[in-house]
Structure 1
Amino acid sequence: MTFSQELRVAADDIYQGIFEHPFVVGIGEGSLHKEAIIHYVKADFEYLNAFMNIYGIAIAKSSTREDMTYFYEKIGFILNSEIHPHHNLCRVAGVGYDELQGYPLPPTADHYVAHMKSVAQQGSSGELIAALLPCPWTYLEIGHYLKDKYQPAENHPFYEWITFYAKEDTATVTTELCERLDQWAQQVGEAEKQKAKLAFIKSCQLEYLFWEMAYNVEEWPFSLDGMGE
């Protein structure tokens, strides 16, 4: 069993919880309420900006042009491809994509970003990949789970969202990150692998909480307006 496979087994309860979360179920059933969709897109737009920042940290830590090119291309995937599921959600909610950009991260998403950035800045390359991996990996499995369970037709309101995350391009991102993590794991000791495992499990937990945050329209207890003034 590879290191990435070990991580997937360790996080299986979290993955199953994500599949059964009412936000994910709402996508599958086509019944997700507008407020949750809008809150999700607002948060995910900023989260993906942070994700690209962390790919930038990975570039800075890379020692070969091959690695630099790899992480650079992953930024392009987010910029040019991962906007499509957002557009699908915005059409369902009846709002323009531009209207949902530039909002502060809700508490859970803010914590998730802080976790990933801390690992990226202070941890090893393996820890960095492990912290990033649950995002594409859980979405890939969500896409396949929803496609298999609901078998959405093209008139399903979230057809584009589901099929985007179930397609080969999304699988490639996960596969390549797993391969890089496994190569790293073969060269380090058990203590380093345990650090990467902790980073991975925390990110899986926060993936679950991200859905919870969106579904419950989580906000800060007091307004952030006026910060810095």
Structure 2
Amino acid sequence: MKWSEQTWIKSLPIYHKILDLPFITELMNGTLAKEKFLFYIQQDVIYLGEFGKVLAGIVVRLKKQSHAEAFMKFAADTIYVEGDLHESFLKQVGSSVTTEPSPSCLLYTGHMRQLLSSASVEATMAGVLPCFWIYKEVGDYILSNQTHNSDNPYQQWINTYGGADFEKAVTNAINICDELAQQCTNEQQQEMTDAFIRSAKLEWMFWNSAWNMEQWPI
């Protein structure tokens, strides 16, 4: 069994809890309050700014040119494709990006920066993988379980992460991680798995924080 297959099985309880979040349920049926979605978009803009930097940091550490080129494209898509998506929603409501990250957003971005600065490149790649993989799975789940989508105000977001183009990028990222994992020791593979699981938990926290419109307690 591939590293990715083993790790996904271990992360399934977290993934199922993500699907159970009211944020995801209401996003799927189009009833999510606009202020909650706007909060999510504003925080995601902050998150993706840091995520793109981490992807760029991974690029310079990769030895194989095809791997580096793939992660370079991931970084570019994060900046341009997802950036345009977020900007379109912000324009619709006439809002701008909040300047302060929520506690969960800061925790997640700090986790990724910590991996980039002190973990192996393999573990760092595993740590960014949930942002690709879980988003794809959530997008696919929503598309498969929607009963009415013609009037869903969030359908553009759903289609982006449930589409074929995004699936190709996710599959490529998974395959690269598997290729590098094959060259790792059991201990190094465990480090990759730990990084993935922690990021998966932070994905849950990020969406849950959007539902609660999380603020700093003091």
TM-score grouping bracket, smaller chain normalisation: over 0.9
From 93, 96, 102, the equivalent of 1:95 is 93
Please name the residue that 1:227 is paired with.
none
Query: Equivalent residue for 1:52?
Result: 52
Could you report, residue by residue, the CA deviation over 1:131-183 in whole angstroms, capped at 9, with x for unpaired residues? 00001111101111111111443332122111111111111121111111111
**Matched AA of 2:93:** V
Correspondence for 1:188 among 171, 178, 184: 184
Q: What aligned pairs does 1:40-189 form with structure 2 within 5 A after superposition?
A: 40-87=40-87, 89-90=89-90, 94-96=92-94, 99-189=95-185
- How far 1:20 sits from its partner (Å)? 1.3
Query: 3-state DSSP class of the match of 2:42?
Result: helix
C-alpha distance after superposition, 1:180-222 (max 9, x if no partner): 1111111111100111111000000000000111110111123
Give distance in 1, aligned partners of 2:83 and 2:53.
17
Aligned partners of 1:101 and 1:87: how far apart in 2?
9
Question: Residue 38 of structure 2 aligns to a residue in which SS?
Answer: helix
CA contact (8 A) 1:52 1:78 kept: yes
8 Å CA contact 1:43–1:103 kept in 2: the answer is no
One-letter code aligned to 1:200: F
Does the Cα contact within 8 Å between 2:139 and 2:159 map onto a contact in 1? yes
Q: Does 1:204 align with 2:200?
A: yes
TM score, norm. by length of structure 2: 0.93
1:93-135 deviation digits (Å, cap 9, x = unpaired): x523xx3325221001100001111112211121011100001
State the alpha-carbon separation in 2 of the partners of residues 43 and 75 from structure 1: 18
After TM superposition, give the deviation of residue 67 of structure 1 in Å: 3.2
Q: Is the 8 A contact 1:57 1:121 kept in 2?
A: no
Q: 1:214 aligns with which of 207, 210, 216?
A: 210
Letter aligned with residue 153 of structure 2:
P
CA distance in 2, matches of 1:104, 1:193: 35
Deviation at 1:70, TM superposition (A): 2.1
Read off the aligned partner of 1:60 and give its amino acid letter.
V
Query: 1:30 corresponds to which residue?
Result: 30
Are 2:140 and 2:161, in contact at CA under 8 Å, matched by a contact in 1?
Answer: yes
Partner Cα separation in structure 2 for residue 40 and residue 71 of structure 1 = 25
Unaligned runs of 5+ in 1: 223-229
Sequence identity percentage = 27
CA–CA separation in structure 2 for the residues paired with 1:126 and 1:200: 11
Find the residue that maps to 1:187 and give its secondary structure: coil
Task: Give ranges in structure 2 of 5+ residues lacking alignment.
Answer: none
SS of 2:60's partner is: helix
The answer on whether the counterparts of 1:37 and 1:214 sit within 8 Å (CA) in structure 2 is yes
Aligned residues: 218
Q: Is the 8 A contact 2:49 2:79 kept in 1?
A: no
